[in-house]
C-alpha cells in the first residue's frame, strides 16, 4: 500500500512538472558574463532548482561525513564495552570470605 501511494505521488509530481513546463514554454533572456542566450522559462527554473539542490547537498556533505565518523567511533566503543562485559561475565566468582 505504501509503495502504491509513493508511485501515485511521484506520478502526480511528474504530471504537475510537465504541465508547468508546457504552460511556461515562453523564452526568457538569460544574461551571463560572456553572453546572452534565450531559453524556455521552465528549463531555466529546472536548471536553477537542480543547481540549488546540488549546492545544498554539497553544503551538507561535511556534516554527513562528520556524523558517519562519529557513528563509526561510537559503534567501535560499544563493541569494546560489550566485549569487556562478556569478559567480566566469564570470570570465575571467588568467595569473598
Tell whether 3 is covered by a domain: no
Check: pTM over 0.85? Answer yes or no: no
The burial class, CB within 10 Å (0-12 / 13-18 / 19+), for 21 is middle
Structural domains in the chain (count)? 1
Tell whether 29 is covered by a domain: yes
pLDDT value at position 97?
A: 62
pLDDT value at position 10?
A: 87
Tell whether 71 is covered by a domain: yes
pLDDT in tens, 49-74: 899 999 999 999 999 999 999 999 99
Evaluated on CA atoms 22, 23, 26, 28, the torsion sign reads: negative
pLDDT value at position 96?
A: 61
pLDDT in tens, 9-59: 989 988 888 888 888 788 889 888 889 999 988 888 888 989 999 999 999
Residue 62 domain boundaries: 12-90
Amino acid at each position: 500500500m505504501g509503495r502504491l501511494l509513493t508511485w501515485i505521488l511521484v506520478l502526480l509530481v511528474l504530471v504537475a512538472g510537465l504541465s508547468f513546463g508546457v504552460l511556461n514554454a515562453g523564452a526568457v533572456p538569460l544574461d551571463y558574463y560572456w553572453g546572452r542566450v534565450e531559453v524556455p522559462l521552465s528549463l531555466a527554473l529546472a536548471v536553477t532548482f537542480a543547481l540549488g539542490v546540488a549546492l545544498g547537498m554539497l553544503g551538507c556533505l561535511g556534516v554527513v561525513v562528520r556524523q558517519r565518523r562519529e557513528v563509526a567511533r561510537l559503534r567501535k566503543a560499544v563493541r569494546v564495552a560489550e566485549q569487556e562485559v562478556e569478559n567480566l561475565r566469564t570470570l570465575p566468582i571467588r568467595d569473598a570470605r
